[in-house]
C-alpha cells in the first residue's frame, strides 16, 4: 500500500505540481489566483466524484473518458489564450491571464485529483492500510515537492535569461503531453480508432520506471505511442508556435511602422 500510494502521487499529483510551478513562474505579479483555483479545484473534484457514477453512464458508458478528454482539451485551449495574452503589448489587457491560469489549475485538479479521492475513499476504511497510506502520502508529497522546487528554479532561470515566452513554452509542452496522454481514453471506449503503434522504446525508457513517469509528466513521453498520438503531439505543438511567432513578427513590424 505504501508503494502504491507513492506511485499514485507520482502519476496523479506530480502533473498538478508541475503545472502550478510553471504558471507560478509564468505569472509572477499576483498569487491570489493560485489559492482560489486550488480551493475551486478541490470543490469541483468532490462534486465530480460525487456524480461520477452518473457521468459514467453518459454516452453509453463513455462519460468518464469523454469528460476527462474535455478537461484536457480545455486546458490546452486555455494555454493558447495564455500565449495570446503574452503576444499583446498592452499590460492593462493582461489582467484576465491570472484567471485563465487559475482555471487551468482547477481543471487539472479535477481530472487528476479525482483519482486520489477514489483511492483514499476506497481504501482508507481498511484499518491495516491507514499507516502505510499516510507514510506513502508523506513520501509521495516529499518527492513531488522536491521535483517542484527543482523545476521552479529551472523555470525561473529560463524566464530570467529568455523571457516569458520560455515559461509559456514549458506550459505548452507539458499541456500537449497531457493532451496526448488522454488520447488513449477515447480509443479504449472505441470512440476513435487509433491503436496502430508508431514505435516502441520500452527497452530504452519504460513508462513503468521512474524516468518514464517523470518524462511522461514533463513532456508526455510514451514508450509505445500510437501514430495518432505522434501526429496530435506534433500538430498541437507546432501550430500554436507558428501562429504566435507570426503574430510576434507582425506586431514587431506594426510597431516599427508606427515609429
Q: Is 223 in the site for another protein (CB under 8 A)?
A: yes
Cβ-based nearer residue to another protein, 159 or 213: 213
Q: Is 201 in the site for another protein (CB under 8 A)?
A: no
Among 55, 187, 214, 230, binds another protein (CB under 8 A): 187
Cβ-based nearer residue to another protein, 26 or 62: 62
Expressed in angstroms, the distance from the first to the final Cα of the chain is 65
Among 14, 16, 27, 64, binds another protein (CB under 8 A): 64
Bin 244: left if φ > 0, else alpha if -120 < ψ < 50, else beta: alpha
| 204 burial level (CB within 10 Å; 0-12, 13-18, 19+) | exposed
Among 2, 4, 34, 73, binds another protein (CB under 8 A): 4
Q: Is 227 in the site for another protein (CB under 8 A)?
A: no
Contact at 8 Å (CB) between 104 and 98? no
Among 102, 105, 226, 240, binds another protein (CB under 8 A): 226
- Nearest distance, CB of residue 139 and another protein, angstroms: 16
Cβ-based nearer residue to another protein, 65 or 179: 65
Among 73, 207, 219, 241, binds another protein (CB under 8 A): 207
Among 208, 235, 239, 242, binds another protein (CB under 8 A): 208
CA gap 20, 9 in Å, rounded: 15
Cβ-based nearer residue to another protein, 60 or 256: 60
Contact at 8 Å (CB) between 235 and 178? no
Q: Binding-site residue total for another protein (CB under 8 A)?
A: 37
Q: Which long-range contacts (CB under 8 A, 24 or more apart) does 232-238 make?
A: 232/179, 232/180, 232/183, 233/176, 233/177, 233/180, 236/76, 236/176, 236/179, 236/180, 237/172, 237/173, 237/176
Site residues for another protein, 161-180, by CB under 8 A, read none
Q: How many CB atoms lie within 10 A of CB 46?
A: 14
Contact at 8 Å (CB) between 35 and 162? no
Cβ-based nearer residue to another protein, 57 or 154: 57
In the block, cell 508541475 appears at 18
Bin 61: left if φ > 0, else alpha if -120 < ψ < 50, else beta: left
Site residues for another protein, 100-119, by CB under 8 A, read 115, 118-119
Binding site for another protein (CB under 8 A): 3-4, 7-8, 11, 52-53, 56, 61, 64-65, 115, 118-119, 121-123, 126, 184-185, 187-190, 193, 195-197, 202, 206-208, 212, 222-224, 226
Amino acid at each position: 500500500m505504501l508503494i502504491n500510494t507513492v506511485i499514485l502521487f507520482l502519476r496523479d499529483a506530480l502533473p498538478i505540481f508541475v503545472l502550478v510551478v510553471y504558471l507560478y513562474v509564468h505569472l509572477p505579479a499576483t498569487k491570489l489566483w493560485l489559492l482560489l483555483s486550488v480551493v475551486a479545484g478541490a470543490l469541483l473534484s468532490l462534486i465530480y466524484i460525487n456524480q461520477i457514477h452518473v457521468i459514467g453512464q453518459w454516452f453509453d458508458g463513455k462519460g468518464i473518458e469523454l469528460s476527462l478528454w474535455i478537461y484536457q482539451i480545455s486546458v490546452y485551449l486555455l494555454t493558447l489564450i495564455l500565449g495570446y495574452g503574452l503576444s499583446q503589448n498592452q499590460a492593462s489587457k493582461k489582467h484576465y491571464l491570472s484567471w485563465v491560469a487559475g482555471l487551468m489549475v482547477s481543471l487539472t485538479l479535477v481530472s487528476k485529483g479525482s483519482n486520489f479521492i477514489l483511492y483514499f475513499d476506497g481504501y482508507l476504511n481498511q484499518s491495516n492500510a491507514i499507516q502505510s497510506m499516510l507514510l506513502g502520502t508523506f513520501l509521495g508529497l516529499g518527492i513531488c515537492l522536491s521535483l517542484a522546487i527543482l523545476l521552479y528554479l529551472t523555470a525561473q532561470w529560463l524566464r530570467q535569461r529568455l523571457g516569458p515566452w520560455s515559461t509559456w513554452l514549458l506550459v505548452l509542452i507539458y499541456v500537449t503531453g497531457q493532451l496526448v496522454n488522454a488520447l488513449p481514453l477515447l480509443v479504449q471506449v472505441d470512440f476513435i480508432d487509433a491503436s496502430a503503434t508508431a514505435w516502441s522504446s520500452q527497452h530504452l525508457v519504460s513508462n513503468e520506471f521512474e524516468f518514464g513517469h517523470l518524462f511522461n509528466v514533463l513532456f508526455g513521453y510514451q514508450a509505445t505511442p500510437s501514430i495518432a498520438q505522434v501526429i496530435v503531439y506534433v500538430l498541437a505543438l507546432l501550430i500554436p508556435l507558428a501562429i504566435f511567432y507570426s503574430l510576434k513578427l507582425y506586431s514587431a513590424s506594426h510597431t516599427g511602422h508606427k515609429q
